[in-house]
Amino acid sequence: RKEVEQDPGPFNVPEGATVAFNCTYSNSASQSFFWYRQDCRKEPKLLMSVYSSGNEDGRFTAQLNRASQYISLLIRDSKLSDSATYLCVVLTDNYGQNFVFGPGTRLSVLP
Amino acid sequence: EAQVTQNPRYLITVTGKKLTVTCSQNMNHEYMSWYRQDPGLGLRQIYYSMNVEVTDKGDVPEGYKVSRKEKRNFPLILESPSPNQTSLYFCASLLTSGGNTGELFFGEGSRLTVL
């Protein structure tokens, strides 16, 4: 079983739609959680951290369920510019030694 | 401008011909790491370095070497490249002093093809 699993997609949604991505992780000792965004043929960039209490950044909402070892990302009012691959990332220690990346979920927002 | 710089960005080489991919960061980050990205597998860590002269294996270190003689540089060395090392490689750095924000800064990537 992979350490971090995501539905690869693609998710094809119209502009303005709400879309949700899920991610599961296997290591119950995981410390920190993040969503990164990767545009085609570009480097990944941090989108947002994920906190136990849930957190929101504009149209983006991230949730963590430690009991179920499950992370989610919700995007409201999708824009064409949201088209990208979204990577779920789990940090298994706080010294930066082990960032484990999921394979990514591809999103295409259509006009 | 804060950045991580990798070179070369694109390289086609032949089996067995030693090559080095350079990585340099100007943010005074302690932590640096190399990843390879292959379709369907996500980014996998090759080697990482917590600071100068401190390096350790990641998940897929076979066939690679690294060194960290200076804080800003973290070259990736393929002593005898093989076709299964054809991949997209990313270098990343992270500020770890003062708390780990989890924000890895990536270079633009180096696409390597081994024939």
Type of residue at B15 = T
A97 or A12, greater pLDDT? A12
Short-list B29, B26, B13, CA closest to B110 = B13
User: Could you read off the pLDDT of B7-32 as tens digits, one per residue?
Assistant: 999 999 999 999 999 999 999 999 99
| CA-based nearest residue in chain A for residue B39 | A103
Count H helices, E strands: chain B? 0, 11
pLDDT at B103 over 90: no
Mean pLDDT of A12-30: 94
Determine the pLDDT at residue B9. Answer: 96
The total of other beta-carbon atoms located within 10 Å of residue B76's CB is: 22
Chain B partners within 8 Å of A32 (Cβ) = 100, 102
- Listed in order, strand segments (DSSP E) in chain A are 4-6, 11-14, 19-25, 32-38, 44-50, 55-57, 60-65, 70-75, 84-91, 99-101, 105-110
**Higher-confidence residue: B82 or A99?**
B82
Position B100 pLDDT exceeds 80? no
Question: Using a CB-CB distance cutoff of 8 angstroms, which residues of chain A are in contact with residue B101?
Answer: 49
The CA distance from A42 to the nearest CA of chain B, in Å, is: 6
CB B95 within 8 A of CB B30: yes
- Compute the average pLDDT of residues B90-99: 85
Condensed to tens digits (0 to 9), the pLDDT of residues A50-100 reads: 988 889 999 999 999 999 999 999 999 999 999 999 999 998 875 556 789
Query: Which of A101, A105, A106 to mutate against chain B (most B CBs within 10 Å)?
Result: A101
Q: Identify the pLDDT of residue A94.
A: 59
Predicted pLDDT of residue A2: 72
- Residue in A8, A32, A102 closest to B102 by CB: A32
SS3 B85: helix
How far is it, in rounded angstroms, from Cα A5 to Cα A69?
11
Which pLDDT score, from 0 to 100, does residue A83 have? 97
Which residue, among A7, A37, A43, would best test binding to B if mutated, counting the most B CBs under 10 Å from its CB? A43
Residue linked to tokens 């484990």: A100
Mean pLDDT of chain B: 93
